């Protein structure tokens, strides 16, 4: 069975790597057929080989997880270079997002709300450990995660109390569809949920 990374790498194997890098805000060194991207994920540098899409975090021997490498490959294959609009939209507002929204919330926002409840301090610390910055949105915690240079994602958390359950949500830039498919954003939010659930290291 073809893995997500193999599928993504195949889709990205036909790109012009220099042009794709510019569209994503990455760097590229090499020829049109072989080289390496100087990419980023959550502000963390990634060296991503082309066309194999093997990846390591520079300065360490740590390999980039396969699901993140797949996202990077899809992003390189999809992005048209559009700058962020600076306007936030919900997952339901992404192309075909409304159809998947209920399931998506179950393994992202509801999972995080179930873990943290009213513990806002731990939520904030977990977000800050991923390089999050405050953003002007309503919520007990409202931050911006710079996933890729042109792909910001907002994370908002409301603490639970006697009347209301805790709630968590991810928001996306209005130009998100110019950089990744809705399926990719679902996978991305699953990764972000996993990282946030680990808490601050």
Range of the domain at 13: 4-78
pLDDT in tens, 100-131: 898 999 999 999 999 999 999 999 999 999 99
Residue 102 lies in a domain: yes
Q: Residue 1 pLDDT more than 70?
A: no
Which range (6-10, 16-20, 69-73) has the least confidence?
Answer: 6-10
Shared domain for 115 and 26, answered yes or no, is no
80/77 Cα distance (integer angstroms): 9
Q: Output the domain CATH number for residue 123.
A: 3.30.310
Residue count of the chain, please give it. 201
Please tell me whether residues 111 and 190 are part of one structural domain: yes
Tally of CA atoms within 13 A in the half-sphere of 63 that contains its CB: 6
What's residue 56's pLDDT? 95
Final residue of a structural domain among 34, 56, 78: 78
Residue 182 has pLDDT above 80, yes or no: yes
**Is the CB of residue 41 less than 8 Å from the CB of residue 76?**
no
**Of 25, 54, 78, which closes a domain?**
78
Same-domain check for residues 63 and 120: no
Domain membership flag for residue 83: no
Angle, alpha carbons 65-158-199 (nearest 5°): 35
Residue 104 CB burial class (10 angstroms; 0-12, 13-18, ≥19): buried
- pLDDT for residue 151: 97
Per-residue pLDDT, 80: 97
pLDDT at 107: 93
Q: Is there a single domain that holds both residue 12 and residue 97?
A: no
In our burial notation (b when 16+ CB lie closer than 10 A, e otherwise), range 110-147 reads: bbbbebbeebbebbbebbeebebeebeeebebbbbbbb
Residue 201: pLDDT over 70: no
Q: Can you tell me the distance from the alpha carbon of 118 to that of 111, in angstroms, rounded to the nearest whole number?
A: 14
Q: How many structural domains are present in the chain?
A: 2
Does position 2 have pLDDT exceeding 70, yes or no? no
Helices in the chain by DSSP H: which ranges?
A: 4-12, 17-24, 66-78, 97-107, 109-116, 120-128, 182-198
For residues 119 and 93, membership in a common domain is answered with yes
Please give the model's pTM, rounded to 2 decimal places.
Answer: 0.93
Question: Residue 200 pLDDT more than 70?
Answer: no
In a domain, 157, yes or no: yes
Across the strands, what pairs with 173? Answer: 88
Query: Is 59 contained in some domain?
Result: yes
Q: What is the pLDDT of residues 123-156, one digit of tens each?
A: 999 999 999 999 999 999 999 999 999 999 999 9
Flag whether pLDDT at 186 surpasses 80: yes
Q: Could you tell me if 119 and 194 lie in one domain?
A: yes
Strand partners, 89: 172
Mean pLDDT (the chain, rounded): 93
Asked if 153 and 181 sit in the same domain, the reply is: yes
**C-beta neighbour count of 75 within 10 angstroms:** 26
Domain finish residue from 60, 78, 96: 78
């Amino acid at each position: 069975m073809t893995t997500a990374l193999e599928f993504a790498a195949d889709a990205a194997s036909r790109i012009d790597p220099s042009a794709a890098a510019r569209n994503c805000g990455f760097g590229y060194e090499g020829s049109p057929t072989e080289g390496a991207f100087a990419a980023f994920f959550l502000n963390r540098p990634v060296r991503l080989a082309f066309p194999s899409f093997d990846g390591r975090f520079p300065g360490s021997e740590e390999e980039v997880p396969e699901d993140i490498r797949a996202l990077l490959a899809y992003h390189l294959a999809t992005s048209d270079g559009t700058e962020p609009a600076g306007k936030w939209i919900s997952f339901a507002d992404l192309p075909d997002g409304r159809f998947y929204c209920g399931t998506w919330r179950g393994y992202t926002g509801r999972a995080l709300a179930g873990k943290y409840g009213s513990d806002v301090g731990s939520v904030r610390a977990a977000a800050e450990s991923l390089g999050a910055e405050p953003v002007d949105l309503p919520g007990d915690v409202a931050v911006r995660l710079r996933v890729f240079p042109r792909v910001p994602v907002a994370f908002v958390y409301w603490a639970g109390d006697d009347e209301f359950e805790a709630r968590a949500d991810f928001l996306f830039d209005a130009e998100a569809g110019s950089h990744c498919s809705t399926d990719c954003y679902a996978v991305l939010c699953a990764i972000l949920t996993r990282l946030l659930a680990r808490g601050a290291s």
